[in-house]
């Protein structure tokens, strides 16, 4: 057996396909490039959830329902964000607030769970800084409202498009650890809130969705392009992994890395972020890829989604300790879609383990 369950097929899904050899991601029949070019968050939510609930689902009605749910959920923050909760890392505070949402398996539950982290994360971040949280605006798209609730300003078109591109890019990705966790919980019919809570708990680990914050630490540590090789060599000499590189499935460049690199360019080109950061990131990326090739010649280690995520979310004004929470905002729709697929078509997930411990002494 392989302890990471590599190559084990544990579910059949119509939701997404990750082709690690070709570096291709398909979400419900649409390639990632096409999806990012044509979709906002609400479009990909409609695509992923279509047919999984009784309701007819389209992007316009999702936008309206998400707006109303954001407004309704704001009272949860006001009621529950005490000092103990606010002392937690943002993703843990969001998880604690999510746990207050009633479990259910209907579309209304799905909408609440997609809206909740979009409201909770900006509110938690503001409260942690000592600022008052900003009420949601139901008339805005989910992305525009998240940025407005974060900064207090209506975002520019480039910023909203950048966050939409991010949320679309990370909306679903095969049977990754958090999605598997969501499906395991769904297979017990515990309800969608329970699935999302399990998934967010899996996501926060640094080997899954916790990497982009450390990517930014790495950029800051390197500081100047000319320091890249020496700094990275030193990190590798000390047994560290370079954050934003390597992937369990992709043996070539993660297609999401390029989708995000494309998405962040208009924000930097229009002077809304420091263009020097892109040049630094590109220099570090090139040095890291060269070093990883030298040190691990037999293991293709390429840029993954987290690398340009760090640059994009930083440019949009999210603090680095919040990046995992933003990932959760985007991936919740994928977790819900998988949970529903599992509930509708699957059985209780109950694999076997092989006992390798001691046997009872013979009498």
Residues of this chain that bind ligand COA (CB under 6 A): 207, 211, 241-248, 292, 296, 299, 301, 304-306
Closest CB to ligand COA among residues 104, 206: 206
CB-count exposure of residue 7 (10 Å: 0-12, 13-18, 19+): exposed
CB of 297 to ligand COA, least distance (A): 11
Closest CB to ligand COA among residues 122, 246: 246
CB of 90 to ligand COA, least distance (A): 18
Closest CB to ligand COA among residues 133, 246: 246
CB of 52 to ligand COA, least distance (A): 26
CB of 256 to ligand COA, least distance (A): 9
Q: How far is CA 337 from CA 36, 139, 145, 332, in A?
A: 19, 25, 23, 9
Transcribe 323-344 into DSSP letters. HHHHHHHHHHHHHHHHHHHHHH
CB of 287 to ligand COA, least distance (A): 13
CB of 240 to ligand COA, least distance (A): 7
Closest CB to ligand COA among residues 57, 211: 211
Closest CB to ligand COA among residues 53, 318: 318
How far is C-alpha 31 from the geometric centre of its chain's CA atoms?
18
Q: 275-279 contacts: CB < 8 A, separation 24 or more? A: 277/219, 277/311, 277/314, 277/315, 278/311, 279/225
CB of 201 to ligand COA, least distance (A): 16
Is 238 an annotated catalytic residue? no
249: number of Cβ within 10 Å: 17
Catalytic residue, from 285, 306, 338, 341: name it.
306
How far is C-alpha 35 from the geometric centre of its chain's CA atoms?
17
The 10 Å CB-count burial string (b at 16+, else e) for 335-357 is bbbbbbbbbeebeeeeeeeeeee
Is 208 an annotated catalytic residue? no
Q: How far apart are CA 1 and CA 6, in angstroms?
A: 9
Tokens 């095969």, located at residue: 174
Residue 56 is classified by DSSP as -
Q: Which residues contact 189 (CB under 8 A, 6 or more apart)?
A: 105, 343
Total residues belonging to the chain: 363
Best CA proximity match to 347, nearest among 107, 49, 11: 11
Structure tokens at 332: 């919740």
Closest CB to ligand COA among residues 131, 220: 220
- Backbone phi, then psi, for 26, in 5-degree steps? -115, 130
Catalytic residue, from 247, 302, 338, 341: name it.
247
Closest CB to ligand COA among residues 234, 299: 299
Helix-helix angle 59-80:41-49, to 10 degrees? 100
Closest CB to ligand COA among residues 105, 306: 306
Best CA proximity match to 182, nearest among 340, 16, 8, 351: 340
CB of 295 to ligand COA, least distance (A): 7
Select the residue whose beta carbon is closest to ligand COA and give its number.
246
- Asked if 302 contacts 79 with a C-beta cutoff of 8 angstroms, the reply is no
| Enzyme catalytic residues | 247, 306
């Amino acid at each position: 057996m392989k302890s990471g369950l590599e190559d084990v097929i544990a579910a059949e899904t119509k939701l997404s396909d990750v082709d690690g050899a070709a570096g291709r991601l398909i979400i419900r029949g649409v390639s990632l490039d096409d999806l990012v070019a044509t979709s906002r968050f609400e479009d990909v939510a409609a695509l992923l959830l279509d047919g999984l609930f009784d309701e007819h689902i389209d992007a316009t009605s999702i936008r309206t329902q998400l707006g109303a749910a954001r407004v309704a959920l704001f009272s949860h923050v006001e009621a529950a964000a005490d000092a103990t909760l606010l002392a937690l890392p943002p993703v843990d505070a969001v998880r604690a607030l999510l746990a207050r949402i009633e479990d259910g398996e209907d579309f209304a539950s799905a909408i609440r769970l997609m809206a909740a982290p979009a409201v909770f994360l900006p509110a938690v971040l503001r409260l942690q800084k000592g600022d008052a949280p900003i009420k949601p605006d139901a008339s805005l798209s989910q992305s525009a409202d998240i940025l407005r609730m974060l900064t207090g300003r209506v975002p520019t078109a480039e910023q909203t498009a950048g966050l939409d591109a991010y949320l679309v890019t990370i909306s679903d990705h095969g049977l990754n650890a958090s999605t598997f966790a969501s499906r395991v919980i769904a297979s017990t019919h515990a309800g969608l809130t329970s699935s999302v809570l399990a998934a967010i708990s899996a996501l926060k680990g640094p080997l899954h969705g916790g990497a982009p914050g450390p990517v930014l630490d790495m950029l800051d540590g390197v500081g100047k392009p000319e320091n890249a090789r020496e700094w990275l060599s030193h990190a590798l000499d000390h047994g560290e992994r370079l954050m934003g590189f390597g992937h369990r499935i992709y043996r070539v460049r993660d297609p999401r890395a390029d989708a995000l690199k494309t998405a962040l360019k208009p924000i930097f080109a229009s002077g809304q972020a420091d263009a020097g950061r892109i040049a630094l990131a590109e220099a570090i990326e090139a040095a890291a890829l060269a070093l990883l090739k030298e040190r691990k010649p037999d293991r293709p280690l390429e840029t993954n989604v987290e690398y340009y995520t760090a640059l994009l979310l930083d440019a949009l004004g999210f603090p680095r300790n919040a990046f995992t929470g933003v990932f959760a905002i985007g991936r919740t729709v994928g977790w819900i879609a998988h949970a529903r697929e599992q509930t509708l078509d699957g059985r209780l997930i109950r694999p076997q383990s092989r006992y390798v411990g001691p046997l009872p002494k013979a009498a």
